Amino acid sequence: MTEQLWLKQAYQKGHQVAKITSKPAKRTRPELLNGTGPIWKSIAVDAACSGNPGVLEYRGVWTETAEELFRQGPFAQGTNNIGEFLALVHALAHLKKEGLNIPIYSDSKIAIGWLKRKKCKTQLQADEQNVRLFELINRAEKWLQDNPYENEILKWDTILWGENPADFGRK
């Protein structure tokens, strides 16, 4: 398949072409070839927020292919950390439902910390614009309290590996 046809098909399927076209090159980096790279059989999550607070969305993808598994949003008056937290919980719930014990990557240390404490520690205040977002936060916290999980939650190493495959590419 020609690269042009491949790019056209990726675009038609809604894939982020820049992310897909850069992935094969990343795999040739020495740290990926010698086993210090990411675990490809995993899920990567990310969030994007226009402003702080601002319009928020999040998603999860298969790390190896960048195929989107879920996307939520847009939500009014959210933060990137909230989106990352919700994406992690969404990925855990998805994997539990599918019976898969594979790692989940996030590039957010804060969201990973919130997940481990089973509590979204945002300073953002709920209001009439973001009520749906706070309903999801409460639901996510309850899910964490009620559902043990064994999946590893790993920090995506952006410096070594480039952008997270779930990245929205809006920087």
Interval 112-145: pLDDT, tens = 999 999 999 999 999 999 999 999 999 999 999 9
What are the tens digits of pLDDT across the range 70-105? 999 999 999 999 999 999 999 999 999 999 999 999
Find, among 160, 155, 39, the residue nearest to 107 by Cα: 155
Its pTM stands at 0.80
Whether 165 contacts 19, CB under 8 Å: yes
Residue 63: DSSP 8-state: T
Q: Please, what sign has the CA dihedral across residues 165, 167, 170, 171?
A: negative
Q: What is the CATH number of domain 38-161?
A: 3.30.420.10
